Amino acid sequence: MLFALPTALLPAAVRAAPADPGPAMQLSAADKTLINQIDAYLNSESALTANFLQVADDGSTRTGKAWIERPGRMRFEYDPPDPQLLIAGSGSLIYHDPALNQTTNIPLSSTPLGILLAQHVSLDSANSEITGIDREPGEYDVTLARRGKEALGRLTLVFSTNPLELRQWVVRDAQGHETRVSLYNVTPAGPLPDSLFQYSLPALPTHRNQ
């Protein structure tokens, strides 16, 4: 996902020609049972904090702290000396790069991660479709796309199996670039402060006449 501008979170309209994420898969009875279990797990916690490791497809890594609260709120704060900040709140995703003095504001509904931040998460719904399920030893991988907005990219959620926990997600953007975000030190949280998900433009420096 994420980032220099966070290309895998941006709408395809501001990137290159879209890639085809593939058709929705026909879910078997076992698939539907698994998806129902994952939906129940994702809806069981409304807020969490975690540390994250982000790996881009060029191998570069970044770390930081994440706060996630449904519906629609997220904060990714990168460890020094990385100054970037990513905030979701009030229906928008805001990305600020102080080094470039650049702030980007896009609708959260135009990003793959909006699926995870819904009021009620339903992976197979009117808003999202499942394009793949992989069962690996100790791991479930579920790949999603927004229904009717497949050009926005794909989101793969990676779960441990025992216990069932979200451990990682992978965003594949319209250009085929992948960014992998691994979560660790995941801790359920109570209601988080509104201030975490609010962003104000930095104050411009003032100059006094000498």
The pLDDT, as a whole number, for residue 61 is 93
Closest Cα partner for 43 from 72, 68, 76, 70?
Answer: 70
* Range in 39-48, 91-100, 107-116, 179-188 the model is least confident about: 107-116
- Alpha carbon of 208 to those of 203, 205: distances in Å? 15, 10
The domain 21-186 is classified under which CATH number: 2.50.20.10, 1.25.40.80, 3.40.630.30, 3.40.50.300? 2.50.20.10
Question: Could you state, in order of their start, the residue ranges of all structural domains in the chain?
Answer: 21-186
- How far is the C-alpha of 91 from the C-alpha of 104, rounded, in Å? 14
**Residue 81 token pair:** 């000396």
In this prediction, residues 111-120 reach a mean pLDDT of 83
